[in-house]
Amino acid sequence: MGSIGSSFFDIGHLDALSSKQTPVHRVDSRVKVLTTLCFIVVVVSFHKYDPARLAPLVIYPMAIMVIGRIPFSYILKKVLIASPFVLFVALFNPILDRNPVMELGSFVISGGFLSFTSILVKYVLTVSAGLALIACTGFDAICSALSGMGVPTAFTIQLLFVYRYIFVLGEEAARMARARALRSFGDRGMGIGVYGSMLGQLLFRTMDRAQRIHLAMMCRGFDGKIRYNSPKGICWSDWIFLGGWCGLFVLLRSYDFPAWLGRELGRLI
Amino acid sequence: MHMADALISPAVGGTMWVAAAGLTVYSARKLKEEMDDRKTPLMGVLGALVFAAQMINFTIPGTGSSGHLGGAMLLAVLLGPYAAFITMASILTIQSLFFADGGLLALGCNMINMGFFPCFIAFPLIYKRVAGRGPDRKRILAASMAASVMGLLLGAVGVVTETFFSGISELSFKTFILLMLPIHLVIGVVEGFVTASVVGFVCRSHPEVLQMADESSKGNSISLKPVIITLAVIAALTGGFLSWFASTSPDGLEWSVARSSGNKELPAPAGKLHAFFSGLQEKTAFLPDYSFRKEKPEAPAANEAKKGNDEPWPGVSAGTSVSGLLGGVMSLVLVGLIGIGIRTFQKRKSK
């Protein structure tokens, strides 16, 4: 119970990071969303037997985190927490695919092991890029970016609403769960009977709240739209950000930089 | 069952994105037609409720584990399919952004698996049929049970299909589906119980809430079929285009790079689908053979086939593979150095 409770405040912390003032934070939110999507597509498009070629791409999430002053340990913790399903699926690769693909002296590396590694690397890269995006942009800015990019307003309004009320209802639910835990001994009262009516109670309270919110919104002239701070135009530094990163991704996608580096080093040695 | 970016290919992710985006736009348009702006805050708050409800667990008797609410079916019952889909989509987006639960490219897949199947398939086809019009409690319980189970199973099939077409995981379609279906059957039954008990509670104490949702979804439940067909066609076209693009240009690029640099690249494997069909072909081709000559000649043939399968993966000479790995490690070190460089620069500047 405590752990989930703290995870709710945790997402608040992620959003709080976005209020810093760094060069990355100042980049237009639309540009950051586009760049991150481009990064993810490039990462995912690499061949499954090519984990080494993914290595230079670490530079994007790392640069964002370093320049945006986002603590590494915090992002790493979140990446590790969310991994069970990926691990579960990826673990089958070394077991099922035993084709020898590579030799390192007397070691033979199977294709399954390579694809397992590349799934994990891709996972870490994509997830950390997404978390870095939210940590250096903030959720409101992302929603306004989405609506600026033509996403239906009904959807962006829902994003804002759900996010805003997660905290309110989360606290309410945590309070209810604590109260139930205090009144029940062992497993008595923790079953589905009580649970169903408890959730129902929460549901009704929520619906009443929705009605009050609606009235309050009507009082303030809500007409089905939420008005964002109109974003500043995309200036030249934003174009450089977008073009620079996307150019780098395409370059790393089309040239095998690690192999070149390895060959040159081998020649030196 | 949130899918991660690491397990899908760009073609599959892009296709599902297009399909999910189409559904979102369509649902948003339908909602606008309803013109009930009381629903806007209600949807948002119910979406937050689905999150909040995950903080309350219940113990499953006899197992020692605990379950909690999944959400999509409850949303569909309370809000109608369109509003429920949009709310579910926003929940999934927040999950992927803040909790790293499901990736950004995989968002389309997740919206289809966990939003489309429960809201647009299980809800109208199972829940509505079984629950009927009147507020009959037993029927509502049975309906939410059946619909939750069905929605989850369809979602699990979706996960397996998307993973299979991406060709990243080595799990075969059959094994993966045999792993996924039982697990999700259990989860579905638990979720069905939860949905049923909550809907039952609502039905007992405030039955008018259910009627309101029923009315709002009544008028436009018929027009879904053409939309799904159009979406399927669009998704198939984009999927075809993207996979054609993926199979020709980047590989072509790699091939030319490999030729110009003299580096022996690993040949691109034939796609999973291709492997599946060739496997099928092999099987069907073996059968007549088998009936003519009974035993021995088949074994060498199979061996040969195996050898043939092995051959596309020749032992890459140790030199190139070592240099590749070394290069990977070196570029990681390089990136790390750049990071440290930026940080020291920042520190010096702030002093």
Q: Could B257 and A254 be called an inter-chain contact, meaning their C-beta atoms sit closer than 8 Å?
A: yes
Query: Which pair of structure tokens corresponds to residue B325?
Result: 């790995």
Q: What is the CATH number of the domain that holds B238?
A: 1.10.1760.20
Query: Which pair of structure tokens corresponds to residue B295?
Result: 């035993």
Q: Could B257 and A66 be called an inter-chain contact, meaning their C-beta atoms sit closer than 8 Å?
A: no
Q: Within 13 Å of residue B224, how many CA atoms lie on the same side as its CB?
A: 18
How much is the pLDDT for B216?
56
Higher pLDDT, B84 or A185: B84
B87 near A CB under 8 A: yes
Q: Report angle CA B214, B215, B220 to the nearest 5 degrees.
A: 100
Q: Above pLDDT 90, what percent of chain A?
A: 8
Judged by CB atoms within 8 Å, which residues 266-305 of B form the interface with A? 266, 268
| Mean pLDDT score, B291-302 | 39
Q: What is the pLDDT of residues A83-142, one digit of tens each?
A: 777 887 888 888 887 777 776 666 777 778 888 888 888 898 998 999 899 888 888 888
| Mean pLDDT score, B32-57 | 78
How much is the pLDDT for B127?
85
Instruction: Assess contact for A101 and A111: CB atoms under 8 A.
Output: yes
Q: What are phi and psi of B305, to 5 degrees?
A: -60, -40
Q: Could B52 and A170 be called an inter-chain contact, meaning their C-beta atoms sit closer than 8 Å?
A: yes
Task: Give me the total of CB pairs closer than 8 Å, taking one residue from chain A and one from chain B.
Answer: 372
Residue located via tokens 């279906």: B181
Q: What are phi and psi of B314, to 5 degrees?
A: -70, 150
Q: Could A89 and B31 be called an inter-chain contact, meaning their C-beta atoms sit closer than 8 Å?
A: no
Q: Could B316 and A217 be called an inter-chain contact, meaning their C-beta atoms sit closer than 8 Å?
A: no
Q: Is B36 left (phi over 0), alpha (psi -120 to 50) or beta?
A: beta
The rounded distance, in Å, linking the Cα atoms of B106 and B1 is: 11
Q: Give the alpha-carbon dihedral of A32, A37, A38, A40, to 10 degrees.
A: 120
The rounded distance, in Å, linking the Cα atoms of B244 and B239 is: 8
**pLDDT band, residue A39 (cuts 50/70/90):** very high
The rounded distance, in Å, linking the Cα atoms of A190 and A28 is: 48
| Mean pLDDT score, A1-27 | 71
State which residue of chain B sits closest to A212, comparing Cα positions: B41
Instruction: Assess contact for B189 and B297: CB atoms under 8 A.
Output: no
How much is the pLDDT for B134?
65
**A194, burial (CB in 10 Å: exposed 0-12, middle 13-18, buried 19+):** middle
The rounded distance, in Å, linking the Cα atoms of B63 and B77 is: 29
Q: What is the pLDDT of residues B89-145, one digit of tens each?
A: 998 898 888 877 778 888 999 899 888 988 888 888 888 888 776 667 788 888 888
Query: Is B201 among the domain residues?
Result: yes
Q: Which among A127, A131, A202 has the least Cβ separation from residue B49? A: A202
Q: What is the pLDDT of residues A48-78, one digit of tens each?
A: 777 788 888 888 999 999 888 888 888 888 8
Query: Is B235 among the domain residues?
Result: yes
What does the buried/exposed string (b/e) look like for B116-152 if buried means 16 or more CB atoms within 10 Å of the residue's CB?
bbbbbbbbbebbbebbeeeeeeeebbbbbbbbbbbbb
Q: Which among B3, B326, B342 has the least Cβ separation from residue A66? A: B342
Q: Could B97 and A79 be called an inter-chain contact, meaning their C-beta atoms sit closer than 8 Å?
A: no
Q: Could B52 and A172 be called an inter-chain contact, meaning their C-beta atoms sit closer than 8 Å?
A: yes
Tell me, what DSSP letter sits at residue B155? H
The rounded distance, in Å, linking the Cα atoms of A232 and B117 is: 40
Nearest-10 crossing angle of helices A257-268, B318-350: 100
Distances (CA, A) of A141 to A108, A137, B159: 49, 6, 31
The rounded distance, in Å, linking the Cα atoms of A230 and A148 is: 9
B118-127, B148-157, B282-291: range with lowest mean pLDDT = B282-291
The rounded distance, in Å, linking the Cα atoms of B231 and B2 is: 22
Judged by CB atoms within 8 Å, which residues 112-151 of B form the interface with A? none
Instruction: Assess contact for B108 and B8: CB atoms under 8 A.
Output: no
Q: Could B104 and A48 be called an inter-chain contact, meaning their C-beta atoms sit closer than 8 Å?
A: no
Other CB atoms within a 10 A radius of the CB of residue B61 amount to 10
State which residue of chain A sits closest to B207, comparing Cα positions: A204
Quick check: B246 pLDDT over 60?
no
Nearest-neighbour CA in chain B from A134: distance (Å): 7
Quick check: B63 pLDDT over 70?
no
Query: Is B232 among the domain residues?
Result: yes
Domain that holds residue B164: 5-243
State which residue of chain A sits closest to B175, comparing Cα positions: A92
Distances (CA, A) of A40 to A228, A269, B308, B335: 27, 35, 35, 18
Quick check: B264 pLDDT over 50?
no
Judged by CB atoms within 8 Å, which residues 66-85 of A form the interface with B? 66-67, 69, 78-79, 81-82, 85
Kind of pairing between the strands at A107-110 and A100-104: antiparallel
Query: Is B81 among the domain residues?
Result: yes
B209 near A CB under 8 A: yes
Nearest-neighbour CA in chain B from A150: distance (Å): 10
Q: Could A63 and B342 be called an inter-chain contact, meaning their C-beta atoms sit closer than 8 Å?
A: yes
The rounded distance, in Å, linking the Cα atoms of B144 and B196 is: 5
Q: ipTM score of the complex?
A: 0.85
**pLDDT band, residue A245 (cuts 50/70/90):** very high
Quick check: B292 pLDDT over 50?
no
Beta bridge mates, A108: A103
Contacts of B346 (CB under 8 A, 6+ apart): A66, A67, A69
B27 near A CB under 8 A: yes
Nearest-neighbour CA in chain B from A255: distance (Å): 7
Q: What are phi and psi of A252, to 5 degrees?
A: -70, -25
Query: Is B329 among the domain residues?
Result: no
Q: Report angle CA B268, B269, B275 to the nearest 5 degrees.
A: 155
For residue B320, which residues of chain A lie inside 8 Å, CB to CB?
A: 259
> DSSP string spanning B72-96?
HHHHHHHH-HHHHHHHHHHHHHHHH
Beta bridge mates, B67: B58
Q: What is the pLDDT of residues B176-211, one digit of tens each?
A: 888 888 888 888 888 888 888 888 888 888 777 776
Residue of A85, A89, A96, A260 to mutate, interface with B, max B Cβ within 10 Å: A89
For residue B192, which residues of chain A lie inside 8 Å, CB to CB?
A: none
The rounded distance, in Å, linking the Cα atoms of A191 and A175 is: 18
A6 near B CB under 8 A: no
Tell me, what DSSP letter sits at residue A46? S
Quick check: B274 pLDDT over 70?
no
Mean pLDDT, chain A, rounded, equals 82
Query: Is B130 among the domain residues?
Result: yes
For residue A199, which residues of chain B lie inside 8 Å, CB to CB?
A: 53, 56, 69, 194, 197-198, 201
For residue B53, which residues of chain A lie inside 8 Å, CB to CB?
A: 173, 199, 202
Q: Is A71 left (phi over 0), alpha (psi -120 to 50) or beta?
A: beta
Quick check: A35 pLDDT over 90?
yes
Quick check: B6 pLDDT over 70?
yes
Nearest C-alpha neighbor of B23 from the set B118, B94, B104: B118
Instruction: Assess contact for B209 and B140: CB atoms under 8 A.
Output: no
Count of structural domains within chain B: 1
Residue located via tokens 């997740």: B110
Query: Is B115 among the domain residues?
Result: yes
Judged by CB atoms within 8 Å, which residues 85-124 of A form the interface with B? 85-86, 89-90, 92-93, 96-97, 99-105, 109, 111-112, 115, 119-120, 122-123
Judged by CB atoms within 8 Å, which residues 177-216 of A form the interface with B? 177, 180, 187, 190-200, 202-204, 206-207, 209-211, 213-214
Confidence (pTM): 0.78
Instruction: Assess contact for B230 and B40: CB atoms under 8 A.
Output: no
Domain spans, chain A: 2-149+232-262, 153-219
Query: Is B318 among the domain residues?
Result: no
| Mean pLDDT score, B320-337 | 74
For residue B343, which residues of chain A lie inside 8 Å, CB to CB?
A: 66
